[in-house]
Structure formats: structure tokens, C-alpha cells
Amino acid sequence: MAGREQYEVVIVGGGPAGLCAALYGGRGMLRTVLLERGVPGGELLNTEWIEDYPGFPKVKGRELADLMTQHALQFGAEIRQENAESIVRRPDGIFEVTTSLGTIFEAPAVIITAGGTPLKLEVPGELEYAGRGVSYCAVCDGAFFKGETIAVVGGGDAAVEEADYLTRYAEKVYLIHRRGELRASRILQERLFQNPKIEVVWNKRVLELFGDPSGLKTIALEDTETGQLSELKATGCFVFIGFRPNSGIVQQHFAHDASGYMITDDRMMTSIPGLFAAGDLRVQLTRQVTTAVGDATTAAIAVEKYLTERRQSGAGVGSGAHAGV
């Protein structure tokens, strides 16, 4: 039911960063709520295997997400399946986080861990064939392309990992990259080049996607060096060209870089006092599960100190306990 509820910290986003922050918030005996529009886990739910998380040489993304969720719940954090639509800081220093259900969550501190949204190619045919050949999630849709010829667009870790993953279903996978070298880590590149089902299409950008009522059939390409046009026959096109940070729900101005990623200090606090950021929407060198949980650990502990300082200043930490307590 819509209304107002009070907490000490509201966490927006239920990926690895959000779940870790919730764990530490609960462990710190803070009245903590995590808001996530879907099932907690974030990008872990779109990754079949995680191989670079300490202590887990190889673990399914969904399994790790479930373990993180249960761990946060064990420490007393509350998880609500509600979509946060806006974050506003009032003059008294209390934040109002409003969800699509009309609920307003009030707290003196917010940790935003909302991640990002996959970037689109923004070419003709992309929207038309979305769900009929065009996809942004290999784990979600790979099984629909058994024995087919498909393409992956991108050159970073995600594109290379997903191209390798998709070979378990597709007969042939083309990796289309606009440059002459990949940005992915060396170990991932080595795995890619050793896979006989993968062929890299260098120095090409996607111009248009063509098909018929049954779905995608052809990808029109342009050579980024010569301008020469060509076509690639493929029934699937998986796009992994980056993410746009989901920082737009913050209604007040905050310091950010040219791409909209939030700038924080060493405590993960943004330029808005009491608003902390962790994970993929924060400016940083790399975006991994390990960096997400590291950010979140720092942010949650920093929130404890921030609330203590706020109490000592006489500002207090809120207007009461949350509903039901």
C-alpha cells in the first residue's frame, strides 16, 4: 500500500553492490531496505558462470545472486520488489525515494547501486527486430539460436565472453568490432581466438538490420577505414557495446563525468551529502562483481559513520521506525 515509510538507509538497486550494501547495513544494525524492481541479482542473473569471484572458482550467476540475497536477509535487511523512480534530498537532509507504486521511503542516507542499461546500436531495424533476432542478453536468448549463424557486436569483456558462451548453441558466431583490436582482457581474447566457431569481423560497424516477418536475416556493415559496404547473413544479433548508468532517477544535480557516471569521494559519497554510489554507475577503471561489492562495503560502512556524525550534530537520522515495527 502506498504511503510513507522511514528507514536509516535506503538502497536502490539489487545487484551485487546493492545486496552487499544491504548485508553490511543489516550487520551494522541499521534500519535498512533494499528496493529492486525485479528478482535480486542484477547482471548476475544474465551471466551463466562467474569465474573471477574469490572463493568461487566457478559458480552460476543465479546461484551467487541467491547466496548474496539470503546472506543480506540473514543480517536483517529488508528487500522490497519496488521500482524506484526518483530520489530527492529535502532541505532537512532527509531523502525521499519514490517508487512506481507511490510509496515514499524516507531516510537520511541513500546508497544508489542501480547499475546501467545496455546501450543500443540506434540503427534502422534494431527496434523492429528486438526479440526477433536482436538481443542484449546471451544467457536469456542464446538457446533460441541452436544450430544457427549469429553475430555479436562489441569488443569488450562482455562481448567476448558472450560470443564464447553463444557457441554452445550457434553453429557459427561472428564478432563484429569497429576497431582492429579488442578491448577485452587477454585471457578472454585467448579463449575467443582458440574457439573454432568464432570469427572476428574487424573494422566494421553495423549500419542496418534487415529481415522478414519471421525475424532477422541480414546485417548491413560499413568498413570503418575504407567505407566499403558489405552484408553478413545472420539470424541473431547480440549487442554488447556498453552501458548507460541509471543515475537519472536522482533529481538534483550531482558531479558526474561526460557519460553520466557518478563521481564519488573515497567514502563513495557523491557531491550530494548523504547520497552514496556503488557499483557500475560510479566512475571507476573497471566494472566487475568484485569492485561492486568492494564499493558497497565502503559505502555501507561510510553510511554508519555519516549517520553517527549526523546524530552528533543534532540533525537526527529520521522521523521514526518503518511500518510494522
Phi-psi region of 36 (alpha: psi -120 to 50; beta: other; left: phi over 0): beta
Arch. (CATH architecture) of 134-239: 3-Layer(bba) Sandwich (3.50)
Which candidate in 52, 140, 257, 265 is catalytic?
140
Q: What is the 8-class DSSP label of residue 303?
A: H
State how far the Cα of 316 lies from the Cα of 314, in Å rounded to an integer.
Answer: 6
The pTM assigned to this predicted structure is 0.80
Is 265 in the active site?
no
Domain ranges of the chain: 4-118+243-312, 134-239
pLDDT in tens, 194-234: 999 999 999 999 999 999 999 999 999 999 999 999 999 99
Q: CA distances (Å), 117 to each of 86, 156, 281, in order?
A: 17, 16, 10
d(C-alpha 190, C-alpha 45), whole Å: 25
Identify any residues that bridge with 86 across adjacent strands, giving them in sequence order.
98
CA distances from 39 to 24, 59, 81, 123 (A): 20, 18, 7, 31
pLDDT for position 199: 98
Which of these is catalytic: 20, 52, 92, 137?
Answer: 137
Catalytic residue among 20, 141, 164, 280: 141
pLDDT at residue number 320: 40
Specify the CATH architecture of the domain 4-118+243-312: 3-Layer(bba) Sandwich (3.50)
Amino acid identity for residue 124 in this structure: P
Q: Residue 237 catalytic? A: no
Residue 306 has pLDDT above 70, yes or no: yes
Q: Is the dihedral of CA 315, 317, 320, 323 positive or negative?
A: positive
pLDDT at residue 131, rounded to an integer: 87
Percent residues over pLDDT 90 in the chain? 83
Is 141 annotated as catalytic? yes
